[in-house]
Chain A
Amino acid sequence: KAGVTQTPRYLIKTRGQQVTLSCSPISGHRSVSWYQQTPGQGLQFLFEYFSETQRNKGNFPGRFSGRQFSNSRSEMNVSTLELGDSALYLCASSPGTGVVGTEAFFGQGTRLTVV
């Protein structure tokens, strides 16, 4: 069974630009969550999509947005990039329904550097 795939692995962008990151979940999983990992703030929850709808949202500004397609693939967009957006962005896949307490499976992440 293929794991969670995130593309691209590395990105370098300039302040003010926008960026789109992609995540393909494990086949059959309908929930995709996004996290930002930085040395100072640790792992912070951005949002979760389930069946093409945002189900949960963290405390990030509106510059951070996402969407989910009918095949459960998800994209995350960050507009008007700031230096502080430099981070490892992780995507997590889970069934989203069914058995209680199932664990989430993470992709390898996209390393975004804003210069």
Chain B
Amino acid sequence: AQSVAQPEDQVNVAEGNPLTVKCTYSVSGNPYLFWYVQYPNRGLQFLLKYITGDNLVKGSYGFEAEFNKSQTSFHLKKPSALVSDSALYFCAVRPPGSSNTGKLIFGQGTTLQVKP
């Protein structure tokens, strides 16, 4: 079965420090991977995606993610965290063979808390 795991319910980091939010996936073949962020009582905002090519993907608001095929991981990173980065982060996968469909499989989400 296809699945996405975010092993940490919450990540705490001090402002100015680097942050990492972890994501691993389990799908057959080459997946399309996405990161979204959700602020309270809001919908999801797209941050970045990996489709093919360079394993390091850069996205919005200074975020980047590293695709690691051997470890089936797609961790979200940022060199210097801001208090305003505090939110709920979701990793998602679009299964292989569904390149243009709207179906996404989401992880459970990780709450990022950045303290001043």
The interface of chain A, by Cβ under 8 A from chain B, is 4, 6, 31-33, 35, 42-45, 48, 50, 55-56, 58, 90, 92-98, 100-109, 111
CB within 8 Å for A33 and B102 given contacts A4-B43, A42-B108, A106-B45: yes
Interface centre among A4, A103, A111, by most B CB within 10 Å? A103
* Interchain CA distance A104-B44 in the complex, whole Å: 9
* Interchain CA distance A96-B98 in the complex, whole Å: 10
Closest 4 CB pairs of A and B: A33-B102, A101-B51, A106-B43, A43-B106
- Interface residues of B, dominant DSSP: loop
Name B94's contact: one of A58, A93, A97, A101 (CB within 8 Å).
A101
* Interchain CA distance A31-B98 in the complex, whole Å: 13
Asked whether B105 is an interface residue with its Cβ less than 8 Å from the other chain, the reply is: yes
Chain A contacts of B32 at CB under 8 A? 100-101
> A96–B102 contact, CB under 8 A?
yes
Residues 42 to 60 of chain B near chain A (Cβ within 8 Å): 42-46, 49, 51-52
Chain A contacts of B94 at CB under 8 A? 101
Query: Closest Cβ of chain A: how far from B44's Cβ, in Å?
Result: 4
Would you mind naming 17 contact pairs between A and B with Cβ atoms under 8 Å apart? A33-B103, A42-B107, A45-B103, A45-B105, A48-B101, A55-B102, A56-B103, A90-B44, A94-B100, A95-B100, A96-B102, A100-B99, A101-B51, A101-B52, A102-B100, A105-B46, A106-B43
CB within 8 Å for A101 and B99 given contacts A106-B43, A108-B42: yes
> A104–B104 contact, CB under 8 A?
yes
Asked whether B67 is an interface residue with its Cβ less than 8 Å from the other chain, the reply is: no
Measured CB to CB, the nearest residue on chain B to A25 is B102
Chain B contacts of A58 at CB under 8 A? 103
Chain A contacts of B63 at CB under 8 A? none
Chain A contacts of B100 at CB under 8 A? 31, 94-98, 100, 102
* Interchain CA distance A93-B32 in the complex, whole Å: 17
Measured CB to CB, the nearest residue on chain B to A91 is B43
